[in-house]
Amino acid sequence: MSTIDFESLQKLFPSTDEVPVEARLSSPIHQRVSLVDGELRPWVGTCKTVLSPVCVRQPDGEVQQLAIGSYPVMGELESDAALDAAVRAYDAGRGEWPTMTVAQRIGCMQDFIKRMVAQRAQIVNLIMWEIGKSLTDSQKEFDRTVTYMLATIDALKDLDNSNSRFVIAEGTIGLIRRTPLGVVLCMGPYNYPLNETFATLIPALLMGNTVVFKPPQYGTLLFYPLLEAFRDAFPKGVINTIYAPGAVVVPHMLASGKINVLALIGSSKVADHLKKQHPKSHRLRAILGLDAKNAAIILPDADLELTVKECLLGALSFNGQRCTALKMLLVHRSIVELFLKRFTEELAKLKVGMPWEHGVSITPLPGMHRTAYMTEAIDDAKAKGAGVVNNSGGVFCKTLFYPAVVYPVSEGMMLYREEQFGPIIPVAPFDDVETALEYVTASDHGQQVSIFGSDPTQIGALVDPLVNQVCRVNLNCQCQRGPDVFPFAGRKDSAEGTLSVTDALRAFSIRSMVAAKQTDNSKALLEAIVIDRDSKFVNTGFIL
Ligand code: G3H
């Protein structure tokens, strides 16, 4: 690639006419409704303009983030209305939704999926324009989410079918099923606005909970095409939306004591603050995906080409804006020079450009505050003795930031411990593997780690302490969440609870049971309830 500088980055931004027709948004979306109590309620108050990470070149040559629409900025009054609608729909567990059979709830969800799939093109386009994710990755996010929803339905059928029978122990007959928890406040992140939001929203709904949903700060408009589908596929009040600054309405909703589950993908600092707002914190279940700073430990006998490929993907997919991204590379000193040479050579081949471009890897960040943070972190490392070792690393124009490989990063630099969540790759050398282990042990984060090497004895000895520090140790591959049937969890400041297709159903429910003495009278009573279909809970039906 030719030299990257401010001017060459600036030229990558198109003028409005240069945006390919198929990638254009048909028109800006000015959302003026929110879904509450089964109605799309109009909004006439203040609105927030949505600026795309993508800048467009103006006739005078300046580039500016493109305004792609706007959405309501609500307050406590509206969050109270959304929360009260969810509370009413749950109706202390007596509402239509929590008392529906599992098969009926699945029916509603299947209807919703059909309506959602019909909106694929628009939602994919909005993901791309709202968060700057490449078209290919935006499509993957949508399709992976639908696959996740279908898999969740299958997992729920299995779960319910396996519980659809009586069990007898010590003279007691029991029928045990999973039941909802109540009202769930659901908040997803901007980097996977659809997928990670739905990874909690969908299981929460399927288990019979009602929901207040607050979209992420970047990635709000993409839910607009789904509001009618939510309204039409589910009973009123089962899903309610709120568009408001989180700091204003979220503590307020929690302080009401009416939220039973907090499902948040965000920062541990925010999660700690929010949990404390609930007047009876033991009543609040928290399902949290939080901070992470996954490290790669690169041993002297690592397959260099494979390691470079995986680390590049791990550190820079979606510009490093993944909670699972590799955010620190710990490389054995004996190979660090060679590693850096090959890593920076391969990095230089990555295509920088606009999200709709074929083969693009590096795309614009959500706002200029992010490029400012990246620059600050690099300046801090430079002031403390590190340098940028790849050509043009750290060069930026507006929202487009060229990845920087920073070496040698050490304790005391921002990049050593802070989660950069962007296109900076900190590299630190180590002499003794104990130093690398100590880095992970001393970290506040505990999501995943990657080990690159080939000696079974050394890798085996590293795995044992590491599995007690993080929740997934990846061998010779990058860190990642998928496959979605695997448990996704974290220790320390990285998570609370475990998510996967099956685990999420458990996370949003609790077992409840009906029990009776094993007497003839009880048997006759239970049999009659089942045969006459007097209860939805006491049934032995099988969902096919
Ligand atoms: O941002 C965190 C995501 O859950 C990561 O998912 O590893 O599939 O990119 P991923």
Kind plus residue range of the DSSP H or E element containing 452: strand 448-452
For ligand 1, pick from 323, 421, 472 the residue to mutate: most ligand atoms within 8 Å of CB: 323
Cα(328) to centroid(ligand 1), Å: 16
Distance in angstroms (rounded) separating the CA atoms of residues 184 and 153: 19
Has residue 153 got a pLDDT over 70?
yes
pLDDT per residue over 327-340, tens digit each?
999 999 999 999 99
For ligand 1, pick from 131, 480, 485, 499 the residue to mutate: most ligand atoms within 8 Å of CB: 480
- The structure tokens listed for 376 are 């600050």
Cα(288) to centroid(ligand 1), Å: 14
* Smallest CA separation from ligand 1 atom 2, residue: 323
In this structure, the residues whose C-beta lies within 6 A of any atom of ligand 1 are 191-192, 196, 322-324, 480-482
Does domain 294-489 fall under CATH 3.40.309.10? My reply is yes
User: At 2, is the pLDDT very low, low, confident or very high (cuts 50, 70, 90)?
Assistant: low
Q: Burial letters for 31-62: b for 16+ Cβ neighbours within 10 Å, e otherwise?
A: bebbbbbbebbebeeebbebbbbbbbbeeeee
Neighbours of 171 (CB within 10 A): 8
Distance in angstroms (rounded) separating the CA atoms of residues 83 and 88: 9
pLDDT per residue over 477-530, tens digit each?
999 999 999 999 999 999 999 999 999 999 999 999 999 999 999 999 999 999
For the domain spanning 74-289, the CATH number is 3.40.605.10
Question: pTM of the prediction?
Answer: 0.97
The pLDDT score that the predictor gives to residue 341 is 98
Has residue 1 got a pLDDT over 60?
no
Cα(322) to centroid(ligand 1), Å: 5
The pLDDT score that the predictor gives to residue 345 is 98
Q: Give the position, in ligand 1's atom list, of the atom nearest the Cα of 479.
A: 7
Q: Give the position, in ligand 1's atom list, of the atom nearest the Cα of 318.
A: 9
User: Which is it for strands 210-214 and 183-187: parallel, antiparallel or unpaired?
Assistant: parallel
Cα(100) to centroid(ligand 1), Å: 33
Cα(195) to centroid(ligand 1), Å: 9
Cα(78) to centroid(ligand 1), Å: 32
| Domain definitions of the chain by residue range | 74-289, 294-489
